[in-house]
Amino acid sequence: MAFSSSNKPRCATCGKNIGTFTCRGCSQDFCLSHAQEHRQLLGKKMDEDVILMHDQLQQCLNQQVKQPSLHPLMKEINEWEKQSIEKIQLVAQNTRQKFLDIISKHTNNAKIALISIKEQLSRARDEDDFFEADINEWKEKLEKLKTDLNTPKAITIKLDDNMNSFIPKISISEGPMIIETFEKILGDIDIQDKGRLITHGSSKGYALVR
């Protein structure tokens, strides 16, 4: 069927009424020369868009095969590791500091207890005033002091027992035991002001715990 010139399809490129070729892909009409040009443009587009993209992807894949450690997800794992370690180190550092604070108080108390016992021993020795029972009592006090120095009951390390947590959180606490143990060991010594001031029951001397 013949078209009148006004009914003829127009070439999508030059606009002339001689669009004798229709592209099946985009349904546009073209004249002969622009049909060829359209085909060439399509080929160029194929090279530039799809083939280039494929090659880039191939390159990316080669890179991943060669160095899987550079994968973005690997970086995520590394970041998680770094942050977790930093968190643990911070808690450990704080716990160590707290331990040092507590233990220095504790050893200070023990130091004063030892001085006090030494005074008692010297006095008893000078005055030659002691019997078997006294010796046993001092031995017992020293033994208790030794046990407490090695394994201080007043300091407790606690691990957060939340079973869901991957790593239990550590914490340290200081019980009221320091003063109690201290009082038990020394017997006749009064401890006031939470252990800061020690007055000897029998003598007039005193010592500052800190």
- Among positions 1, 6, 25, 210, the unique one binding Zn ion when judged by CB under 5 A: 25
Which residue stretch of 5-13, 88-96, 101-109, 121-129 sits at the interface with Zn ion (rule: CB under 5 A)?
A: 5-13
CA torsion, points 134, 136, 139, 144, in degrees to nearest 10?
Answer: -110
Is the dihedral angle over the CA atoms 151, 154, 155, 157 positive or is it negative?
A: positive
Rounded alpha-carbon distances, angstroms, from residue 7 to 14, 15, 148, 159, 160: 16, 13, 110, 89, 86
Choice between 37 and 174, CB closer to Zn ion: 37
- Among positions 11, 102, 191, 209, the unique one binding Zn ion when judged by CB under 5 A: 11
Choice between 14 and 57, CB closer to Zn ion: 14
Say which amino acid occupies 121.
Answer: L
| Residue 171 engages Zn ion in binding (rule: CB under 5 A) | no
The Cα 5–Cα 21 span in angstroms is 15
| Residue 65 engages Zn ion in binding (rule: CB under 5 A) | no
Shortest Cβ 51–Zn ion spacing (Å): 19
| Residue 13 engages Zn ion in binding (rule: CB under 5 A) | yes
| Interface residues toward Zn ion, by CB under 5 A | 11, 13-14, 23, 25-26, 31, 34
